[in-house]
Structures are given as C-alpha cells and as structure tokens.
Amino acid sequence: MKNIRDEFPALQQKVHGKPLVYLDNAATTLKPQSVIDATERYYSTDTANVHRGVYLLSERTTEAFEGARIKAQLFLNASEPQEIVFVRGTTEAINLVAASYGRSAIRKDDEIVLSTIEHHSNIVPWQLLCETTGAKLRIIPVNDRGEILANEYEKILNDRTRVVSIAHISNAIGTIHPVKKMIQLAHRYNAVVLIDGAQAAAHISVDVRDLDCDFYAFSGHKLYGPTGIGILYGKSKLLEKMPPYQGGGEMISSVTFEKTTYNRLPHKFEAGTPSIAEAIGLGAAIDFIHNIGLDAIASHENELLSRATHAIQDVPGVRLIGTAEQKGAILSFVMDGVHPHDIGTILDREGIAIRAGHHCAMPTMQRFQVPATARASFACYNTEAEVDSLVSSLLKVREIFH
C-alpha cells in the first residue's frame, strides 16, 4: 500500500493542516506519477500531431497514441483496435451513439430502455433523440435496495425495443447491475445494448466479448488517467454502418465540393486533432492498473466498502442509500437533520474529501425521496485508517448538529 500511495503526489499534501483523505474517486481519481510523466513527456519532447507527419517526432507520437488504443483494446478484450474510438469521455461516447446510431436506426414509436438510477449523461442524450424521432423512453424500476427489478425489465422488453442503455455500476449508489443477463435478454429482441462503464472500468475486470455488449464506454479521468479522454468500444459491424458523428480533418478519405468519402474505422469518428497527450496518459493509466491487477484492486476496495458500510451504520442518524447485494466501492448516505453539503464542508475541515449533492442523478434522488446524499467512494490507494477517519469525522458532524 505504501508503494501505491507513494505513486500519487496529491496524497503527499495536507488540507487544512491535516493529511488529505481523498474519497471522491467516483467523480475523478488522483493521478499516479507515471501518468503525469507520460503526458509531460509528450509536451516536453514529443509535441507533434499524429498520423500525417513524416518526421521523427510525429512518428514517435503516433506510435504512442496508437499504442494507447491497443492497450485499451486489450484492457476491454475487444476483437481489434478499430473497435476502440477515442472520445472526450463517457458523456461524449453516449452522445456519439445516440446521435449516430440513433439517427440511422431509431424511428417513431421505437423504444429505448434505461434504468431509474442512471447518470444524466445516460438520460439526456436519449431524451434528445426521442424528441427528434418520436421514439419513447421506457424506465426499469428498482427496489428499495437499488437493484433492478428483473421481472419488470423482462416485461418492458418487446419488439419495439431498439436500444438498452444502462450503467454497469451506478455512480450515485454503487449498484452493480447484472449486465450480462440484461444483454442476453435484450438481444432476444435484436436490441443493441450500450453499457456505461464510467464507474466500472477502474474497479472490476471488463470483457466486452464475454458480455457481448454492442457498445461500452468509460472515461480516462476515473481510471487514474487524464481528463478529456475516454473510450467508446463498439462492435465493428455496427460502427461500420453508423454515419460520422462530426465532420472535419482526420475522419475523411477524400473531399470534393461534390462528395466526401470517409476514413476507415476508428478514424471515421475522430474528427480533428485528437487529445494526444491525454490518450498517451490513458495508456499509462492502463499500465498502472495492470501492474497492480484489477482483481487485487477489487478485493481491496471491497474490504474498504465492507468496513465502511458496517462502521457508518453505528453513527446515530445515518441512513445508507443503496444497499444492493452487489455493489461497487461507493457509499451514499444521509444524516438526520444535516444537509449533505454541511457534512461535506465539515469533513473538508478534517482533510476528508467526499462528494455531496445529487451526483448528476436526480431521478435516483427522487426514487429514494432525498434531495441529495453524501458520497464516499474508494480507490486502490485508500486505506482502512482513512475509512476510520471518515467514520470518526461523521461522529463530529453529529455532535455539532445535535
């Protein structure tokens, strides 16, 4: 653990005179030195555009950039590199699929299926598509623990179902959805399935071929990588049929004023100069995760979650929101008589960083009849001592307000 923590410069600082306890990993993770070095190296010595340069710097940069694509392919166990599209993050990936696949495949009265506990980024793009096509949203309910009601999901699926888009892990309450089974059911109706993997990719092993999902998306900044970079995986047969998402350089094969022909995959969806340093940094982040091992990360985070779940329930007035049997390393809670923002502010004075609010998941808050929650989320560098600091600080919050 010390070796891992030493990799993160941010953990060496103090906040309000106390050692930083960073528990907002579901929002974004801290960055290891290897990722910082990879991005700095690009800006320091290898600054060049990719693909079109015939000089050494461009060739080195192109090799590193496309090497990151291969790392992402292997990370997800995709069949080939052309199934990996660089995007700005999960949000853009979902928007790309909604705009491109949706524009070509969705018609009036078609149905798009989401769950009650989705991030806004997996709701709004589909709403926009429905407004322009006349398609309809169908929403899968969840129980009081935050788990998908499997029977209701099966009832919703029908011959009009065209898309099922669902989070692998809920960002607001941590539920791990049974996505493999849900994909199998959706495919019975020839629906395509997009999995929002923003909260999953850094925490559990993902094999897109085993899942048989049609699309999978994740963000680099939640994976110990830079901001402004992410991955959209798509099956080649679908990506080939989809029209371009944006027009410009890189995504073309030839241009005349009469007609434009488009580049091959994945470049058809990567218009303009890409986020080069960020993609290289994402490759370094994937290397960092491989060096530790996702199984080891998942085991460690599960231990932290179990410890925190049991300990926090001993704090008077605290109620957990989201108690699914299968959960990611996310603990969402409320405290009687205390607004989550006040919890977050007091914990900050103790050096503890958590998230407080609706977590870009307002329908989730409405389902559980709370305006907001406090959320602690764990990563590979967090420790049992930090969990204990969280709980003891919550006791201080309780003393202040009661």
Report how far residue 86's alpha carbon sits from residue 174's, in angstroms, rounded to the nearest whole number: 26
> Long-range CB contacts (< 8 A, 24+ apart) of 333-336?
333/373, 333/374, 333/375, 334/370, 334/372, 334/373, 334/374, 335/374, 335/394, 335/397, 335/398, 335/401
Cα 23 to Cα 50, 187, 209, 387: the distances in Å are 36, 37, 32, 9
Q: How many residues does the chain have?
A: 402
One-letter amino acid for residue 283 of the chain: G
Residue 241 half-sphere exposure, CB side, CA atoms within 13 Å? Answer: 9
Catalytic residue among 130, 213, 360, 380: 360
Structure token digits, residue 162: 């065209």
360 is catalytic: yes
Quote the CA–CA distance of 200 and 205 in Å, as a whole number: 8
167: enclosing H helix or E strand: strand 161-167
Q: Are 121 and 94 in contact (CB under 8 A)?
A: yes
Pairing of strands 352-353, 21-22: parallel
CA distance 278 to 169: 24
Give 387's contacts (C-beta < 8 A, 6+ positions apart): 304, 307, 308, 311
**Active-site residues: which are they?**
360
